Structure 1
């Protein structure tokens, strides 16, 4: 008996999305932080994401956090495709995008961690690795460029994710991909709203080590 035999198609769709959300709720920084006896939501910026993990716990810890968060995004997207029922109006790729978005929502508002999570960027990257890998060829260089030029990670993430809807539109994407691109971009702009507010107020923190342009000017 297969998975599809156990559950009717609409129930399967709901279970796939729910499973993706619960998987996304497994926060890398909070799970690894428990092993270290820390909750990074009480340190630094208070965000349960890779950037705050790096600032407060160091590079090795942050690398583990990012790998967990990317991995769960990729796994959620794969599960959405693998277990998508075929006898429903929603196509298989649509289930992948729904599962991916649910995983990002889970990261931002994790059921296992009091609905206080991270900002969703790494989980989104993991999902894109499975669903839309060539988009990363534009997003990652955009992110790196802004970080190197300005040192502002939050600004870099916002500008990079805004490339997604442009890519979908320029590439003539079908409705599910376009909707996912717009929804993901809107969500990450929302989760980075405090960064944008601090940036406007001139109080946003920089990664000084990554600000190559400033270092070259000083060196000159």
Structure 2
């Protein structure tokens, strides 16, 4: 696949869009650098734990939006490069140019891209994420297992090579960005979102 100057420009724009971190942009409005609070991660989960649900909702909206925008830009201007553009938006979220290359873990940006490029993949992945979260209370574990379900879904649906490649790359990339969560899980030190453990609370009352 030959790359034109327009294609290269779209890929660069996708990375730069990904570099716009929702938590860090909104944090500046409040005079807060979220990377100095909680887990130190510039993502929605840490935003929820440290600054509340309203702030976290804004963070997630921005991070979903930039993934969707990057994917949409790719589809419109460089259709053959839409999936690489989406992947670069996720990379930009993790290593943002505008924020010293210290960002989040990329899940929300990836979901935003999927909403544009492969919307039917989002409901089953969200179902896996919610099921694991409700059962365990571990957001990181829920995200990893949902991400690992992406290539399985692509295989089951017999998708084309570009979509399959994106699914595999995203699954491995999110596994990499959540490696700290998995290490803490093995050590038994991972933070648990107790309010989300609805299954445990239901069993305790039964």
What pairs up with 1:1-220 in 2 under 5 angstroms?
10-84=4-78, 92=79, 94-220=80-206
TM-score, normalised with respect to structure 1: 0.91
Partner Cα distance (1:41, 1:66) in 2? 16
Q: Which runs of 5+ in 2 are unaligned?
A: none
User: C-alpha distance in 2, partners of 1:215/1:171?
Assistant: 36
CA shift, 1:170, in A, is: 1.1
TM-score w.r.t. length of structure 2: 0.97
Q: How far apart are 1:218 and its partner, in Å?
A: 2.2
Runs of 4+ that moved beyond 4 A: none
Report the RMSD for the aligned CA atoms in angstroms: 1.1
Aligned to 1:162, the other structure's residue is in SS state helix
CA distance in 1, matches of 2:82, 2:148: 20
Gaps of 5+ in 1: 1-7, 85-91
How many residues in Structure 1 have an aligned counterpart in Structure 2?
205
CA distance in 2 between partners of 1:145 and 1:178 (Å): 24
